[in-house]
Amino acid sequence: MPKEWKRDLKKIVNINSYTGNKRGVDKCGELFAEWMGELGFECERFKRELVGDHLLFRSKVSGTRERVLLLGHLDTVFPPGTFEGFREDDEWVYGPGVCDMKGGNIVALESLRKVFERFGKIEDIDFLLVSDEETGSDDSKLVTSSLAQKYDNCFVFEAAGANMEVVIGRKGIGTFEIVIDGVASHAGTAYENGCDANLEAALKLRELASLTDLQKGTTVNIGRIEGGVGANTVSPRAKLLLELRYANNKERARLMEALAKIVEHSFVDGTSARLAGAIQRDVMEPNEWQMELIKEIEKISGVKIKTESRGGVSDANIAASAGVVTLDGLGPYGDGDHTDKERALKSSFEERIDLMTKVLLHHQKEGAIRG
């Protein structure tokens, strides 16, 4: 008989849950609702029309323990017909979401099952599964942020690092579009009457790119440029699509101030610009409370915990920004995520399930994880 974690992982990996496939995402959610119901959890459903429903599985509140939130997402990046199906060999499991992050959701589920087996009940631990993380959590962001404030600790089950590192830092990310208006004119007969939006865009691009500071972990990437009508027309409009990533709040402030100045200043007389976009997920900065939590986990588990920071973002950014002590990377180790080579190491499932089981058992018995 296959291990229970592998049997259930296969079930959900074989369901296409591309973010835009609401039916498939909801089907995965229904399986989790069934499994969590067997452990005594009640399901609060945040119904959605265009994306899958977000699901919060609530346990009973004792009023005497720290409250713990487990956090994951149901969706993957693969549209139907592009990368589907579960397979395995002696060491690895393969398929969409095996590490990002259906595998992580299974780690959380299996840990809860073992806690339930020991105590016959679970209290003060809730499990939130959102449906749109892979497209930026635009819909679920407010749900996660408002809920996270009610908890003492949050564990996020994105994939572990190559040496089973836990993630304590993630960059913040913002996506913006600058629209530049110029004045069109004939490039041959009335060039001087035009105001070149393309030239303004190029000069703004140079200023934006200069904001990158790799030593501080800050990048400004102008990912797309659009502009102009034709070779014989002074450009009346141009657009810049850009992304900011930053490793701390000081850099966020610097970038936002500089961005505003670049948009407001016209290098080419007669042009004007306007800014659209927002910070999608704010920075998750390493902090002393995380390290305190990690030390307690090391005592509980007898395992030395390695840590790392990542340039990519996750819903851990949202939870951390809401003020809850957050650790990420508590899923299995895998690689090839967001490609058709995605895989996860079988032994890492066992390691992570064992670690989280010990942590959650301690929480149920002692009422807290941190001291």
pLDDT at 2: 56
Q: What are phi and psi of 63, to 5 degrees?
A: 85, 0
Q: Which domains does the chain have, with CATH numbers?
A: 4-170+283-366 (3.40.630.10), 172-281 (3.30.70.360)
Other C-beta atoms lying within 10 Å of the C-beta of residue 153: 24
pLDDT reported for residue 329: 98
pLDDT < 50: residue spans in the chain: 1
Alpha-carbon distance of 227 to 199, in angstroms, equals: 10
Strands (E), 149-208: 153-156, 166-170, 172-181, 185-186
Q: Can you tell me the distance from the alpha carbon of 175 to that of 152, in angstroms, rounded to the nearest whole number? A: 30
Predicted model pTM: 0.93
Per-residue pLDDT reduced to its tens digit, 176-199: 999 999 999 999 999 999 999 999
